């Protein structure tokens, strides 16, 4: 099921119905406290065991489990592998095992965790306890590997739609990405919570500082920060409104913040699975949200170099290359992004009307001659001069630029010098990028020099046509698709109800701070909007609003009615 699609309910409801305690295996140590807080707010008896607990707290949780007073117990896979925890589970009454983020078991997926391989022992040690495995990101190959490694081939398999219709997918060519990001946040997401992903720790620090300098509250998150700083920044992001988290992919799995309005990538993700899971952290409340990616030629060069220099055997590098090729195909498609994205997971769909290629269709043009000119330049540099250069030198030659480097190597004497003036520098960079994406050009060596491939021969020999994508002049914005189908519309507030909503948000913030939990654990924005719009005067009327369950009605109902009444004359 997709991120935010309700996977947790698949084991939480059986946990309440079945006798005993459901044991949830999760890699998300940093989020277990928040998950447990959210369940407790709903009246569910939940707790966790992980390395963050002191001795006395750990013993208390173990005693509660053995007494049969827990509905759910969260464990990290590392903890499950210890003899002490295994003996503890032997002594208790286990209702079921739930293996969350199950793609972590797959070596061919995007987020392999070796500790997950030990989970095959569940069916051996506790053969009579039911097991359920759940993930948001699995191709058919990853799905099959999960089933094999966890001995679930004989289980029933459920695959829901991967679609998140409320998310608008947009991919733009890099052109001063910091300014592009700032424009996006100021014009479309002012005051919104969001996540910005960068490839390196240094980029994370610089972008977070850049946003703060420009008046946007932002925090960094990466593995190089000490554990206390990471935990504090994550806690602030979950508990405060309107913060932007700038992070490496070390951040985000299991983040349950419902009102993340955008996820932006300033570097090309390594795989479609990773991209899909990261973008899925936006709009978990079903309201319109943006998935925005800026990518350029240097991203492709950098990713190819990372693959060539990676540890692992040839099969591993081929797997990484296949992941990257699929990601590049998504970036360069002239078709609907969502159709391409869902097809990667084996799901057929129709053009969505809610991605950049649907809202502002790019042109496809015959780039065969341009490709031949570029490939000829690379060929002549290698054959006639025994030289290899990166994209910039080849483009300077095609444009007839007499730079110092061109003059130094006498490249102005090549027959291809100045034959490409019909395209601009940025258009030539797009040609290079797309030829790399199509495998008609390669990147080699430490310095990312260009080289021909087997596919280049067909283009140079005039046996193959090359279709390229031309970016539309005007990119769509989030406002361009307000009427799209499938995305939930927020409850519209009247001028009278708007201040009531803000009063409820202020009450929620104070209550959350007092209880030391994220605001969404108290109530989601969508619930507060509906309360503000309907203004119920009794507990019975309040109980009919979505998101106000029995436990929350008993806990907060009277306070809400008082908050509503406090604004009346």
Q: 37-85: per-residue pLDDT in tens?
A: 889 988 899 999 988 899 999 999 999 999 999 999 999 888 888 999 9
Give mean pLDDT, residues 433-437. 89
Q: Are residues 527 and 506 in the same domain?
A: yes
Is residue 90, in this structure, part of any structural domain at all? yes
- Determine the Cα–Cα distance for residues 87 and 104; give it in Å rounded to an integer: 25
CATH number where 432 lies: 1.10.10.10
- At 484 the pLDDT is 43
Instruction: Please write the tens of the pLDDT for every residue from 493-526.
Output: 888 899 999 999 899 989 988 988 888 889 988 8
Q: Are residues 224 and 354 in the same domain?
A: yes
Q: Are residues 336 and 201 in the same domain?
A: yes
Q: Are residues 181 and 308 in the same domain?
A: yes
Residues 6+ apart with CB under 8 A from 150: 99, 102, 105, 119, 120, 122, 123, 131, 133
The last residue of a domain, from among 359, 379, 410: 359
Q: Are residues 127 and 259 in the same domain?
A: no
Q: Are residues 16 and 131 in the same domain?
A: yes
CATH number where 526 lies: 1.10.150.80
Q: Tell me how far the alpha carbon of residue 160 is from its chain's centroid.
A: 18
Q: Are residues 187 and 330 in the same domain?
A: yes
Beta strand residue intervals within 216-304, DSSP E: 218-221, 244-247, 260-265, 289-295
Is residue 519, in this structure, part of any structural domain at all? yes
DSSP string, 170-216: EEEE-SSHHHHHHHHHHHH-TT-EEEEE-SSHHHHHHHHHHHHHTT-
- State yes or no: pLDDT of 527 exceeds 50: yes
Q: Which segment of 112-121, 146-155, 334-343 scores lowest on mean pLDDT? A: 112-121
Confidence of residue 564 (pLDDT cuts 50, 70, 90): very high
Is residue 399, in this structure, part of any structural domain at all? yes
Strand 46-49 relative to strand 72-75: parallel, antiparallel, unpaired? Answer: parallel
- Determine the Cα–Cα distance for residues 23 and 15; give it in Å rounded to an integer: 9
Instruction: Please write the tens of the pLDDT for every residue from 373-383.
Output: 999 999 999 88
Is residue 403, in this structure, part of any structural domain at all? yes
Confidence of residue 473 (pLDDT cuts 50, 70, 90): low
Q: Are residues 406 and 447 in the same domain?
A: yes
Q: Are residues 211 and 280 in the same domain?
A: yes
Q: Are residues 457 and 350 in the same domain?
A: no
Strand 363-366 relative to strand 467-470: parallel, antiparallel, unpaired? Answer: antiparallel
- State yes or no: pLDDT of 478 exceeds 80: no
The number of domains in the chain is 4
- Determine the Cα–Cα distance for residues 231 and 88; give it in Å rounded to an integer: 28
Range of the domain at 535: 497-565
The last residue of a domain, from among 330, 359, 388: 359
Give mean pLDDT, residues 280-288. 89
Of 529, 547, 488, 506, give the one whose Cα is nearest residue 38.
547
Instruction: Please write the tens of the pLDDT for every residue from 155-179.
Output: 999 998 889 999 999 999 998 999 9
Block residue for tokens 């939480």: 12
- State yes or no: pLDDT of 259 exceeds 60: yes
Q: Are residues 248 and 193 in the same domain?
A: yes
Name the more confident of 2 and 270: 270
Confidence of residue 490 (pLDDT cuts 50, 70, 90): low
The last residue of a domain, from among 149, 178, 196: 149
Of 195, 161, 193, give the one whose Cα is nearest residue 338.
161
Q: Are residues 390 and 321 in the same domain?
A: no
CATH number where 98 lies: 3.40.50.300
């Amino acid at each position: 099921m997709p991120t935010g699609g309700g996977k947790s309910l698949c084991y939480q409801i059986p946990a309440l119905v079945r006798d005993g305690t459901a044991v949830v295996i999760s890699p998300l140590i940093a989020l277990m406290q928040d998950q447990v807080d959210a369940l407790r707010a709903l009246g569910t008896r939940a707790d966790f065991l992980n390395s963050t607990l002191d001795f006395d707290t750990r013993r208390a949780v173990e005693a509660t489990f053995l007494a049969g007073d827990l509905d759910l117990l969260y464990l990290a896979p590392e903890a499950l592998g210890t003899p002490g925890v295994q003996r503890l589970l032997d002594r208790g009454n286990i209702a079921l095992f739930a293996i969350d983020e199950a793609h972590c078991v797959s070596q061919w997926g995007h987020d392999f965790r070796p500790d997950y391989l030990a989970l095959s022992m569940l069916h051996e040690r506790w053969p009579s306890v039911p097991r359920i495995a759940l993930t948001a990101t699995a191709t058919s190959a990853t799905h099959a590997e999960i089933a094999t490694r966890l001995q679930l081939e004989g289980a029933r398999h459920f695959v829901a739609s991967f679609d998140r219709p409320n998310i608008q997918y947009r991919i733009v060519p890099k052109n001063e990405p910091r300014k592009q990001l700032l424009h996006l946040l100021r014009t479309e997401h002012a005051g919104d919570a969001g996540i910005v992903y960068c490839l390196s720790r240094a980029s994370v620090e610089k972008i977070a500082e850049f946003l703060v300098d420009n008046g946007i509250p932002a925090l960094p998150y990466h593995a190089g920060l000490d554990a206390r700083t990471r935990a504090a920044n994550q806690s602030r992001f979950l508990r405060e409104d309107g913060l932007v988290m700038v992070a490496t992919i070390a951040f985000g799995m299991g983040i349950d913040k419902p009102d993340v309005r955008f996820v932006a990538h300033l570097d090309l993700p390594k795989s479609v699975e990773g991209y899909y899971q990261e973008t899925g952290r936006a709009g978990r409340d079903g309201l319109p949200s943006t998935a925005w990616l800026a990518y350029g030629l240097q991203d492709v060069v950098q990713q190819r170099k990372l693959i060539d220099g990676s540890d692992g055997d040839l099969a591993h590098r081929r797997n990484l290359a296949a992941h990257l090729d699929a990601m590049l195909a998504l970036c360069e498609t002239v078709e609907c992004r969502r159709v391409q994205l869902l097809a990667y997971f084996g799901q057929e769909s129709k053009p969505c009307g809610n991605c950049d290629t649907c809202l502002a269709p790019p042109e496809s043009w015959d780039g065969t001659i341009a490709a031949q000119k570029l490939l000829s330049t690379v060929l002549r540099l290698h054959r006639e001069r025994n030289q290899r250069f990166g994209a910039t030198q080849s483009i300077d030659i095609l444009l007839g630029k007499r730079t110092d480097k061109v003059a130094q190597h006498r490249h102005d004497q090549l027959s291809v010098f100045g034959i490409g003036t019909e395209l601009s520098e940025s258009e030539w960079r797009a040609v290079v990028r797309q030829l790399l994406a199509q495998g008609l050009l390669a990147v080699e060596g430490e310095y990312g020099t260009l080289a021909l491939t087997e596919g280049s021969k067909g283009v140079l020999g005039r046996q193959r046509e090359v279709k390229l994508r031309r970016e539309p002049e005007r990119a769509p914005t989030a406002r361009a698709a307000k009427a799209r189908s499938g995305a939930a519309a927020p409850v519209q507030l009247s001028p009278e109800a708007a201040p009531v909503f803000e009063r409820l948000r202020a009450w929620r913030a104070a209550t959350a701070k007092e209880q030391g939990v994220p605001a969404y654990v108290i109530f989601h924005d969508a619930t507060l909007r509906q309360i503000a719009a309907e203004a119920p005067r009794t507990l019975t009327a309040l109980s009919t609003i979505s998101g106000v369950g029995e436990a929350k009605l008993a806990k907060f109902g009277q306070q809400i009615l008082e908050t509503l009444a406090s604004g009346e004359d």
